[in-house]
Amino acid sequence: MVSRIIPVDPFDLIIFGGTGDLARRKILPGLFRRFCAGQMPNNARIIGAARSTLSAEQYKAQIGTAISEFGNVTGNQAKQLNAFLAQLDYVKIDVKGEDGWRNLASKVRKNFVNAHYFSVAPSLFGDIAKRLNHWQIATPDSRIVVEKPFGRDLESSQKLNASLAAQFDEGQIYRIDHYLGKETVQNLMAVRFGNVLFEPLWNAQYIDHIQITVAETVGVGGRGAYYDTSGAMRDMVQNHLMQLLCLIAMEPPARFDPDAVRDEKLKVIRALGDVKPHEIVRGQYDGALDAQSYRQDVENPRSFTESYLCLKAHIENWRWSGVPFYLRTGKKLKERSSEIAIVFKKLPHSIFKDSGEAKNNVLAIRLQPNEGMTMDVTIKEPGPGGMRLIQLPLDMTFSEVLGDTAHDAPDAYERLIMDVIRGNQTLFMRGDEVEAAWTWTDPIINAWEARNDVPKIYETGSSGPDDANLLMDRDGRQWRDIT
């Protein structure tokens, strides 16, 4: 299969927080891979900006080390590292004051696309936005890129959006949800809207329920202080899982263009119904053997924050009436495994009475690892002995069917940053989507806080708390195995 790399236009990308964790682990290694793939033009420039006192040479050395550590650099790419680093520059700046802005303004080229990545705490977003205009660095064509969390509730997200809207048009604001940049997430749209097979079945008449799982083996890492004030609902469900749900549930947009897609997603979020207390299970991991507990990890012995959450969501519209969407995510679970499973209804009548029961067809879209899709179908077990039914998957593991094309595909951050430079907002969240998501999430969080909900304990390396199974048992259903 031919890989088609289309170089983007020359650009200046300014990374505020260019010395931070996200810049070193994700943004710059991602840009380096795009450079190696030939997508980044030679006259593009990346300017790191932070308070640390560093010369441009010291910054390049720091980033070179980070790329070697986090960039999955192969032998051939290592040779290109110096050429990539030559395109980097550094500005010492305090985004809350005026230090460094004049210097930055003198470096940013007005005749090229300029994009500003706010890889800093959200409390600094407003300061940067204001000063970009005050120092006349931004042009009407500039883009700003902001990272989650977009607030911690509706009110704070409205304030954050207002502080950005005071300086930039919505068409210039790129809110990153890196799940939207994942290859298989986009494939979800290709499968749904690029085949005649699925769309006629994509509704309450044929679908029994949907399971969305994002299981992680990692814990809170070095982000304990942030995570403990956030928890799985704010960190994962309000954004990543919500976006997946939207892509599955939305009506076909008229065109694959930013506002057409985002309008449809917004309608889904607005159609989400209440979640009752018995439809939600919060969990917190405890250490197994010599593993640390969540409370030790976040250094808060009295924490009641959830590191696991599952819930049953309802979309109150014609297409999805009566079809539950079960969402589940957690840290320190037994496997890293993210998938969306569309579980179809059983047959209305089986003609194979004595041949074993035909099971539900399941379309499973695997986000990570081993990206791909399987469709469980019922077939006759080969051989003599009459008609015996078994279920087997039609298996489309991308690395097997697509080979190097799948392997070389850009990761989420790489793709999204290139989309910013191209000016394509399809895979970014609009302000009204974020606010609608909080409108649904806030009452759920408020309700568990009001009843002093205590998360159920689960063992590190398990599938989550036992109560999560009860949620399914009550409905006569089962979670799929986390494998």
Q: Is the dihedral of CA 17, 19, 21, 24 positive or negative?
A: positive
Is residue 225 close enough to count as binding ligand NDP by CB under 6 A?
Answer: no
Alpha carbon distances (Å) from 313 to 266, 272, 325: 16, 7, 5
Q: Which of 28, 73, 91, 93 binds ligand NDP (CB under 6 A)?
A: 93
Pick what 50 binds: ligand NDP, ligand BG6, none; C-beta below 5 to 8 Å, kind-dependent: ligand NDP
Question: 380 touches which of ligand NDP, ligand BG6, none (CB within 5 to 8 A by kind)?
Answer: none
Nearer to ligand BG6, 193 or 226 (CB): 226
We find the least distance from the C-beta atom of residue 330 to ligand NDP, in angstroms, to be: 17
Q: Is 235 or 419 the residue whose CB approaches ligand BG6 more closely?
A: 235
Element (H, E) at 175: strand 173-176
**HSE (CB half, 13 Å, CA atoms) of 328?**
28
Q: Which one, 227 or 320, has the nearer CB to ligand NDP? A: 227
Question: Exposure of 289 by Cβ count < 10 A (0-12 exposed, 13-18 middle, 19+ buried)?
Answer: exposed
Q: Looking at 10, 41, 70, 94, which residue binds ligand NDP (CB under 6 A)?
A: 94
Residue 399 CB, nearest approach to ligand BG6 (Å): 18
| 134 a catalytic residue | no
State how far the Cα of 456 lies from the Cα of 477, in Å rounded to an integer: 21
Q: Do residues 246 and 268 lie in contact, with contact meaning Cβ atoms separated by under 8 Å?
A: yes
Under a CB-based contact definition with an 8 Å cutoff, are residues 69 and 38 in contact? no
Total Cβ atoms within 10 A of residue 226: 15
Which of residues 8, 44, 120, 236 is near ligand NDP by CB under 6 A?
Answer: 120
Q: Cα dist. 385→357, 389, 392 in Å?
A: 17, 11, 19
Nearest to ligand BG6 of 34, 148 (CB atom): 148
For residue 19, state whether it binds ligand NDP (rule: CB under 6 A): yes
Closest CA to 171 of 433, 428, 434, 437: 428
The entry of ligand BG6, ligand NDP, none near residue 121 (CB within 5 to 8 angstroms by kind) is: ligand NDP
Tokens of 346: 């059983």
The DSSP letter of residue 24 is I
Q: In the range 134-163, which residues lie near ligand NDP by CB under 6 A?
A: 147-149
Displacement of CA 339 from its chain's centroid (Å): 12
Which residue's CB atom is positioned nearest to ligand BG6?
235
Size of the site for ligand NDP (CB under 6 A): 22
Q: Give the 3-state secondary structure of residue 335.
A: coil
**Euclidean distance between the first and the last CA atom of the chain, given in angstroms as a whole number:** 30
Task: Assess 98 for contact with ligand NDP (CB under 6 A).
Answer: no
Residue 94 binding partner per list ligand NDP, ligand BG6, none, with a CB distance cut-off of 5 to 8 Å that depends on partner kind: ligand NDP
Q: Which of 122, 118, 157, 146 is nearest to 437 (CA)?
A: 157
Quote the CA–CA distance of 198 and 363 in Å, as a whole number.
10
Task: List the single partner that 17 binds among ligand NDP, ligand BG6, none, CB under 5 to 8 Å by kind.
Answer: ligand NDP
Binding flags for ligand NDP, 42-81, as an x/- string (CB under 6 A): --------xxx-----------------------------
From 116, 178, 209, 240, active-site residue: 240
- Contact between 121 and ligand NDP per CB under 6 A: yes
The entry of ligand NDP, ligand BG6, none near residue 216 (CB within 5 to 8 angstroms by kind) is ligand BG6
Is 401 near ligand NDP (CB under 6 A)? Answer: no
Helix spans in 229-293 (H): 231-232, 242-249, 258-270
Structure tokens at 200: 């006629």
Q: Which residues bind ligand BG6 (CB under 6 A)?
A: 178, 216, 218, 235
- Residue for token pair 């930055």: 104
Q: At what angle do helices 28-36 and 56-70 cross, to 10 degrees?
A: 80
C-alpha 317/C-alpha 272 separation (Å) is: 9
Report the residue closest to ligand NDP, judged by CB: 20
Segment interacting with ligand NDP (CB under 6 A) among 18-26, 182-190, 264-272, 409-417: 18-26
Neighbours of 178 (CB within 10 A): 19
- Which of the listed partners (ligand BG6, ligand NDP, none) does 235 bind, with a CB threshold of 5 to 8 Å by partner kind? ligand BG6
Instruction: Considering the complex, state which of residue 3 and residue 53 has its C-beta at the smaller distance from ligand NDP.
Output: 53
Least Å from the CB of residue 195 to ligand BG6: 26
106-114, 115-123, 327-335, 460-468 -> range binding ligand NDP (CB under 6 A): 115-123
Which among ligand NDP, ligand BG6, none contacts residue 96 (Cβ within 5 to 8 A by kind)? ligand NDP
Distance of CA 39 to the CA centre of its chain: 23
Active site residues: 240
Residues that bind ligand NDP (CB under 6 A): 17-23, 50-52, 93-96, 119-122, 124, 147-149
